[in-house]
Structure 1
Amino acid sequence: MERKTRTQAWTICAALVLAAAVLATAASATPGAACGFCGKNLIKNPGAEAGAGITAVGAYGAVPGWTNEAGQFSAASYTFPNGWFSKRSKGSQARGKNYFFGGTTTDAVSAKATIGKQTIKLPAAAAGRKVTLGGWLGNYGTGPTANMTQVRAEFADPGGTVLARLRIGNDTTISGTDMAFRSRKGTVPRGATQVTIVVTFASGNNYKLAGADDLSLVLA
């Protein structure tokens, strides 16, 4: 009788251990299953690869997925002979044939800044999650007429009110004909349903040759 009781006890104990293991496995799998959008870049056309990059002064390279807000937000080819960046420039190892730049058109030259925007609808469960804004930035020139690159992520409510911002650039430590990677972390604010990526190539009174490439906005 005592032996039977011990066997039953061991059986119950083993069952409890197995149940605990199953629950632990399910619990550890839940976050990943609940966040299918985590780890993915939310920005569309993040490297200006969709569309043709310009290869001549005065040309305009439209950037699919982005809106030109000021100046002449464009895509330039790394083969553009009058561009500041080339295939020899330091930059993203995953870069393609194009990059974002401020433009050489009349509108670009006359504007105080060239600005491009893209508004993204956030996933329903994005609020409260960690977020990282990143990208490769490059400047052109020095001093008061220098072209400086800045990228912002503006998180807004359904009415368009901005609740929080993340920003990379302006960064005066980036110089020469190379780009450098910059990133910043934050948290998606409660109430945010959309985020607008704002790329600005500011200052300068001539061609706006500053650039940016392989931008990313990733939730965790």
Structure 2
Amino acid sequence: MGKRATFIQSRTVLCIALVLVGAMLATAAAAPAKTKPCGICGKNLIKNPSAEAGAGIMAVGAYGAVPGWTSESGQFGAASYAFPNGWFPKSSKGSPKRGKNYFYGGTTTAAIDAKATIGMQTIKLPAAAAGHTVTLSGWLGNYGKNTAQVRAQFADAGGKVLASLRIGPDSTIAGTDMAFRSRKGKVPPGAKQVILVVTFGGTTTTYKLAGADDLSLVLA
């Protein structure tokens, strides 16, 4: 093979190599950026999500604090499924994973006098959580016109709410039974914490017997 033929062949190989490199760079540039690792993804972020920690009340007028939660209004508490005056007996429809207790509005004077019984929990978020899909779910049960609602409020470090998800109140849920409700969203940029708010409200002025169980907040 002559020098000229060898030179042409070398140029051809070099051109092909440059084309391949260019294609690889273009593909890499077009590929979506990888999201940061999320160490808390796939886990339920709620502490004591089923009111199992602590004792569920078994008598009218009784009250006990729920570990992991604060009572902001009324007297947010937990009732036993064996509570004789409870609205949700063991035989009622509900979570297949339920234990011995559920969250409820209360039968104390403070619960009766309050417009709504409200319980809260604050969950810290890492910076890597921003942009991830989040699912809020749980089992909700009504009592007459007294209804259950759960909100997940995504806030910055100062407590300013940037976005929120909500399940309930849902008047279609039958009495004495709980129904599963779920909603998805995105963690907004700048969110440093989630303020979880459970509200048992409505127009009922007597006992607040609406309930909730097996609450879940999961990032993906």
Whether these two folds match at TM > 0.5 is yes
Using the size of structure 2 for normalisation, the TM-score is 0.83
Displacement of 1:34 in angstroms is: 2.1
Q: Aligned residue for 1:98? A: 101
The whole-number CA distance in structure 1 between the counterparts of 2:64 and 2:140 is 19
Displacement of 1:61 in angstroms is: 2.3
Contact 1:61 1:76 in 2 (8 A): no
Q: Please tell me whether Structure 1 or Structure 2 has the larger radius of gyration of its CA atoms.
A: 2
Q: Aligned residue for 1:113? A: 116
Query: Number of residues paired by the alignment?
Result: 188
Which segments of 5 or more consecutive residues in structure 1 lack a partner in the other structure? 1-29
Using the size of structure 1 for normalisation, the TM-score is 0.83
The whole-number CA distance in structure 2 between the counterparts of 1:61 and 1:148 is 21
Within 5 Å, which residues of 2 pair with 1:19-38?
34-38=37-41
Identity %: 77
Q: Provide Cα deviations, 1:74-132, integer angstroms capped at 9, x if missing partner.
A: 00000000000011011111111000000000000011100000000012310110000
Q: Aligned residue for 1:164? A: 163
Displacement of 1:35 in angstroms is: 2.4
Q: CA RMSD in A?
A: 1.6
AA matched with 1:174 = I
Q: SS at 1:150's partner residue? A: strand
Answering whether residue 150 of structure 2 is matched by residue 147 of structure 1, we say: no
Alignment partner for residue 138 of structure 1, among 130, 138, 141? 141
Within 5 Å, which residues of 2 pair with 1:54-73?
54-73=57-76
Q: SS at 1:34's partner residue? A: coil
Q: Aligned residue for 1:9? A: none
Displacement of 1:36 in angstroms is: 2.5
Q: Aligned residue for 1:128? A: 131
Q: Aligned residue for 2:214? A: 214
The whole-number CA distance in structure 2 between the counterparts of 1:58 and 1:106 is 7
Displacement of 1:38 in angstroms is: 1.1
